[in-house]
Amino acid sequence: MKKLSDLLREKIEERIVTGDLAPGASLDETALAEEFGASRTPLREAFIQLASSGLIILRPRRSAIVAQIGPQQLVEMFEVMAEFEAMCGRLAARRMSPAEHAALLSAHDACRAARDMQDPDEYYYRNEVFHSLIYAGSHNAFLAEQAQNLYRRLSPYRRLQLRVRGRIGNSFDEHDAVVKAILEGRGDDTAELLRRHVAIQGQRFADLVATLNTMQQQAASA
């Protein structure tokens, strides 16, 4: 069961991505605590998580504010994420144990179920487990930690991508190819598959920006 602070983080994270909380907006701790019916302690824990992922900026004796991430910075962060994933995948294909293979297959089946339900949020959570298993399977603790940290920072945008029409199905098909490459020990193929899976360029970036703009407009008119 998720901690209250994790649930609060996800709620605030969603508002940031959809534009309900715009870049530069102040986060009123008292108002949010009252709205969510929560005490200050879990809310502050959520703020710390959001700050560590770069989504908000904590300021001493002042309200936290929503960080500003421009399109160019977003592209650059996804470029680095793609390389982290590629490195993790290459090592995982060489180092994962049979037990880790079984866990990856189970996570892949959970993604399949979420895909069949066409539930973007459920797929996002199952997708998070899938990628985390690959990071751990690299058996390089430092690399896995860096990949996980950047994943958290990009999580709202990766989550938003799944709302683009057809992306869940495409994502699952890409996962399927990754799983096969890992099970067969094809490190270079795994790396390239994950690099393409995560890289956000061209039409995929245009789709993400269009979806983000649409959601921001909907939030503004609500």
The CATH number assigned to the domain holding 46 equals 1.10.10.10
Length of the chain: 222
Sheet holding 26-27, edge to edge: 26-27, 62-66, 56-59
Residues 92 and 143 in one domain: yes
> What number is the average pLDDT over the span 87-109?
98
What torsion do the CA atoms of 107, 110, 112, 116 make, to the nearest 10 degrees?
-160
Residue type, 139: H
Quick check: 90 pLDDT over 80? yes
21 within domain boundaries:
yes
| Residue 14 sits in the same domain as residue 112 | no
Q: Residue 162 — pLDDT band, cuts 50, 70, 90?
A: confident
Q: What was the pLDDT predicted at 85?
A: 96
- Quick one: 19 and 50 in the same domain? yes
Same domain? For 81 and 59 the reply is no
pLDDT digits (tens, 9 = 90+) for 25-59: 899 888 999 999 999 899 999 999 899 878 899 99
Are 39 and 16 within one domain? yes
Residue 55: per-residue pLDDT: 84
What is the reported pLDDT for 182? 98
- Over residues 176-185, mean pLDDT: 98
Domain C-terminal end among 16, 40, 66:
66
Confidence of residue 201 (pLDDT cuts 50, 70, 90): low
Domain that holds residue 114: 71-209
Structural domains in the chain (count): 2
Residue 222 belongs to a domain:
no
Q: Are residues 61 and 100 in the same domain?
A: no
Instruction: Say if residue 91's pLDDT is above 60.
Output: yes
CA distance 157 to 106: 25
The CATH number linked to 124 is 1.20.120.530
Cβ(14)–Cβ(46) below 8 Å: no
Whether residue 95 is predicted with pLDDT greater than 80 in this model: the reply is yes
For residues 90 and 143, state if they share a domain.
yes
The structure's pTM equals 0.77
- Quote the mean pLDDT of the chain: 87
Instruction: Look at residue 54 and tell me if it is in a domain.
Output: yes
Same domain, 94 and 199: yes
- Between CA 167 and CA 39 the distance in angstroms is 37
pLDDT given at position 200? 72
Kindly state the average pLDDT of the residues 187-192.
98
Does the pLDDT of residue 138 top 70, yes or no? yes
pLDDT > 70: percent of the chain: 88
Is 180 domain-assigned? yes
| 37 inside domain | yes
Q: Does position 89 have pLDDT exceeding 80, yes or no?
A: yes
pLDDT surpasses 60 at 220: no
Please indicate, yes or no, if residue 218 is contained in any of the structural domains: no
Residue 74's pLDDT band (cuts 50, 70, 90): confident
Comparing 68 with 188, the larger pLDDT belongs to 188
Q: Using the 3D structure, point to which of 66, 84, 117 is the last residue of a domain.
A: 66
77 Cβ neighbours under 8 A, 6+ residues apart: 69, 150, 153, 154
Can you give the pLDDT at residue 16? 80
